[in-house]
Structure 1
Amino acid sequence: MRTGLALTLRATQVAGTTAAVVLPALAVGLLQRVRYGPPAGRRHVNRRLVALLMALGPTFVKAGQVLGTRRDLLPRALCDELSLLQDSVEPLDAAQTAVALAEAYGADVAAVFAELDARPVASGSVASVYRGRLHTGQDVAVKLRRPGIERVMAQDLALMRAGAALMARLPMFRGLPVNEVVANMSGAVLGQLDFEREADNLRRLRKNLSEVPRVWVPKVYPEACRPRCIVMEFIPDLAVNTAESCSAAARKRFAASGMAAMYQMLFVDGFVHCDMHPGNLYFTRAAQVVVLDAGFSVQLTDRLRRLFAEFFMNMAIGRGVYAAEIVIQSAERVAADADLPGFTERMADLVVRSHGQSAQEFSLMAFAMEMFDLMRRFGIHAAPELIFPLLSLLVIEGAIRALDPDMDFQEAAKPQLMRGLFGEGGIHGR
């Protein structure tokens, strides 16, 4: 009964906040549409929708971040605005930290840690991170889950699923996988609460990426971990601007290692870190690439991993019809009235045009955006397991371009593509 009442109160709060933001946004958007044209009206509404998600709290922010990757379904302009969402939450204070530690360790805090600084070194909506030291002498980073965050997220996601069920019945959403998209989004958000799985993900990434030179994934200390806390190697002096003060040669090494790590995940291992934004990707003065926070990771099936590799290979050599056929094969759903020959023709043209570009001219982002526009127009809905890794590749493109403007993304992929398709790591070697 108390759970039902809490959900009702939260639903009332969400509905009130939504109405207070959306109704004025639509009115102003209509005025801007009349005065400045349709793009201006849409831009205003999209920005107010992003402001609404931030006002509704961390669950809605994370949901918006995940939904912003679905460029095969949502308008590009809305996805661009959703990509700007920031997970900005006040760090836990001393009292909240004490509660979180008690929930994670009970009376065993002193038995696990020789030292633990109560001031967070980083903070997000799900957890705060602290610096500590184990009794064995290792300096560690302690990722501690916020008290009560599970209840808040469970309530909010229940409301989102109910809203999706209603939307799916509306004529304008027929033919779109509304329930499936929201269910997948819910799984991605809730997955970031599963610290035992995240610790396992870090161990897997550390093992898989040990094959890539100059890539560092922190070691996890399982004996110190708990279901509400991950304890891992502390990596000192991490800063998002380290690369800016390094030599051009070092920056090129950063770029090469970063892309090698990404391609190793995509084409060889099939286990992909899907959140490689600058807050999870760092560079050290020793020319190492540091990968953090594996809570949002996806395991591709062998079939999808191979299809992804084959698509990238055909894209790289300009075989457009084959690339289009792979997009169709890998789709989660194809609309009953989809014009597959029309899609194949336009997709093949996109591949051929891109193949003719130089390394400096070619943009993964521009290619993917045009491909997603085609998929949306022709009713081809991609499997989420492929969308998330692809968007991770697009996220890292900007960072790599800043490090090495001459990076040839297609040429750099060939070693891992060959391994993934034909070598020890590929399906024939398993």
Structure 2
Amino acid sequence: MFQSVQVVLRAIAVVSISLWHLAFALPSILRRDYAGRARRLVVALGPAFVKGAQLLSTRRDVLPAAWCESLADLHDRVPPMPVRVARKVLRSAYGGEPPFTVDWDSVRSGSIACVYRATLDGRAVAVKVRRPRVRRLIERDFAIMRAGASVMSRLPWFRGLPAVAVLRQIGDAVATQADFEAEAEALAELRSLLADVGYLHIPEPLPELGAEGVLVMEFVDGLVPLVAEETPAERRSELAQRVLFCVYRMLFLDGLVHCDMHPGNLYLGRDGRIVLLDAGFVVRLEPRVRRLFAEFFMHMARGDGPHCAEILQESAEGVAEWADVAAFRRGTIALIEESSGRNARDFSLVRFATRLFDLQRVNGLFAAPEFIFPLLALLVLEGRINELDEEVDFQAESIPVLTKAVMSGLLKIGPRERG
């Protein structure tokens, strides 16, 4: 009962904040600063809304460039918590003064936490300090979203869509970003799994120095954002391919996927290596999900529409009594034939996924919620890859990793491949 009351109060607060910003939006409208007003509204609404805006900021094929540039500030330049609040969090976590000296002017600020440079026995470390009550706020916001999705699912257009289940999974994953013990474990595991990739660096977590709400890790100096304007032109294509390889390794071989590879987490180090930060939004894929997603990707790269349709039918969350499976298969085959072999300039994952989900919805096949995470990982990354090299072939770049998965036995060659 108490939780329900808190969710209702939060819903009232969300509506009030939105109305307040709309009421004071006239000066921004006159200046045509729509993106700036939207950014301020998102910040005021809180971390769950900031995460959505971060994803949208990477999609220049969905939003105008001015909006993307404005929302890009939310990757690591969300207004930080006051220093007095951060000091209080640290003193509470350590039962007094922390064992390191913090440079409070070095802050990088996201929706979940602020990151500072600190010094411990002459060594530079990065200290990530969680915002107070942030997990509780995320959980309430996603409860509101699930309630809205539940209402919408009763409407004819949305009936049967697993929107509530999808929001539950995403909400749980976003809320887990506030669990710094889990993030330290994810950082360590990613470092171990990808240790053989010489051009990738993941900071080392220092769990023995952390505390409740505080994560301490290796500090990596001299980072440059992995964006086209900051990257040497002669290296852009190579770096795009290398980033894609790392993501495909996670998706098809390792099964531990970083779903938050936006510009605030992806950099180029002084030594020329790619640096991947912040393992808060890392999801472990179930073997079945990894297998089916890998098989779909393999057959899509081959332009094999019939087998892609089979995989989607096998992985469906449910099939309605009125489903038109034959129409779904025809539509899927046409979509795969149209999309196969396209480079980044001519292929949009957003448009592809939208058309695919629409085919499923119209024909009564409902996508499994578990597939949202591999898709989300690629959606976040696609905009960055497109900026670095619009000629890269997303599908072709997956083939070496998929081949390795087959050779290692992680991806079985069954009837689909023999057909």
Shorter chain as normaliser: what TM range? 0.7 to 0.9
Aligned-pair CA distance for 1:267: 0.9
1:104 aligns with 2:93: yes
Aligned to 2:319: 334
**Structure 1 portions without partners, runs of 5+:** 26-45, 70-75
Aligned-pair CA distance for 1:18: 5.4
Provide the C-alpha distance between the structure 2 equivalents of 1:60 and 1:347, rounded to a whole number of angstroms. 33
Aligned to 1:270: 255
Call closer, same or farther: CA 1:108–1:383 in 2, change over 3 Å. Answer: farther
Aligned to 1:128: 114
Aligned-pair CA distance for 1:319: 0.9
Output the TM-score relative to the length of structure 2.
Answer: 0.81
Amino acid at match of 2:249: Q
Provide the C-alpha distance between the structure 1 equivalents of 2:318 and 2:169, rounded to a whole number of angstroms. 14
Aligned-pair CA distance for 1:234: 0.8
- The 5 A counterparts of 1:270-419 are 270-355=255-340, 357=342, 361-419=346-404
Aligned-pair CA distance for 1:417: 0.4
Amino acid at match of 1:13: A
Amino acid at match of 1:104: A
Aligned to 1:58: 46
Q: Which moves more between the two structures, 57-66 or 251-260?
A: 57-66
Aligned-pair CA distance for 1:263: 0.8
How many pairs does the alignment contain? 398
1:94 aligns with 2:80: no
Aligned-pair CA distance for 1:127: 0.5
**Structure 2 portions without partners, runs of 5+:** 26-33, 414-419
Provide the C-alpha distance between the structure 2 equivalents of 1:369 and 1:159, rounded to a whole number of angstroms. 24
Secondary structure of the 2:381 match is helix
Provide the C-alpha distance between the structure 2 equivalents of 1:361 and 1:223, rounded to a whole number of angstroms. 48
Secondary structure of the 1:156 match is helix
Amino acid at match of 1:95: R
Counterpart selection for 2:194 from 184, 209, 214: 209
1:282-335 per-position Cα deviation (integer Å, ceiling 9, x unaligned): 123432111111211221111111111111111111111001111222223333
Call closer, same or farther: CA 1:13–1:393 in 2, change over 3 Å. Answer: closer
Aligned-pair CA distance for 1:55: 6.8
Call closer, same or farther: CA 1:168–1:375 in 2, change over 3 Å. Answer: closer
Aligned-pair CA distance for 1:50: 6.6
Provide the C-alpha distance between the structure 2 equivalents of 1:100 and 1:425, rounded to a whole number of angstroms. 44
1:236-294 per-position Cα deviation (integer Å, ceiling 9, x unaligned): 12232676455444323312221110110111111110111111111234321111112
Aligned to 2:217: 232
Provide the C-alpha distance between the structure 1 equivalents of 2:9 and 2:277, rounded to a whole number of angstroms. 37
Provide the C-alpha distance between the structure 1 equivalents of 2:397 and 2:231, rounded to a whole number of angstroms. 22
Provide the C-alpha distance between the structure 2 equivalents of 1:325 and 1:175, rounded to a whole number of angstroms. 20
Secondary structure of the 2:222 match is coil
Secondary structure of the 1:119 match is strand
Task: Give yes or no for contact 2:55–2:262 (8 Å, CA) kept in 1.
Answer: no
Aligned to 1:30: none
Provide the C-alpha distance between the structure 2 equivalents of 1:199 and 1:298, rounded to a whole number of angstroms. 14
Aligned-pair CA distance for 1:419: 1.6
Task: Give yes or no for contact 1:318–1:352 (8 Å, CA) kept in 2.
Answer: yes
Call closer, same or farther: CA 1:52–1:174 in 2, change over 3 Å. Answer: farther
Call closer, same or farther: CA 1:16–1:109 in 2, change over 3 Å. Answer: closer
Aligned-pair CA distance for 1:64: 3.9
Q: Which moves more between the two structures, 100-109 or 377-386?
A: 377-386
Provide the C-alpha distance between the structure 2 equivalents of 1:7 and 1:249, rounded to a whole number of angstroms. 51
The CA RMSD over aligned residues, in Å, is 3.8
Provide the C-alpha distance between the structure 2 equivalents of 1:366 and 1:120, rounded to a whole number of angstroms. 39
Provide the C-alpha distance between the structure 2 equivalents of 1:77 and 1:378, rounded to a whole number of angstroms. 26
Call closer, same or farther: CA 1:63–1:259 in 2, change over 3 Å. Answer: closer
Aligned-pair CA distance for 1:56: 5.5
Provide the C-alpha distance between the structure 2 equivalents of 1:6 and 1:404, rounded to a whole number of angstroms. 47
Provide the C-alpha distance between the structure 2 equivalents of 1:116 and 1:124, rounded to a whole number of angstroms. 18
Call closer, same or farther: CA 1:300–1:230 in 2, change over 3 Å. Answer: same
Counterpart selection for 2:105 from 92, 112, 119: 119
Task: Give yes or no for contact 1:160–1:182 (8 Å, CA) kept in 2.
Answer: yes
Aligned to 1:143: 128
Provide the C-alpha distance between the structure 2 equivalents of 1:256 and 1:425, rounded to a whole number of angstroms. 23
Call closer, same or farther: CA 1:299–1:358 in 2, change over 3 Å. Answer: closer
Call closer, same or farther: CA 1:167–1:413 in 2, change over 3 Å. Answer: closer
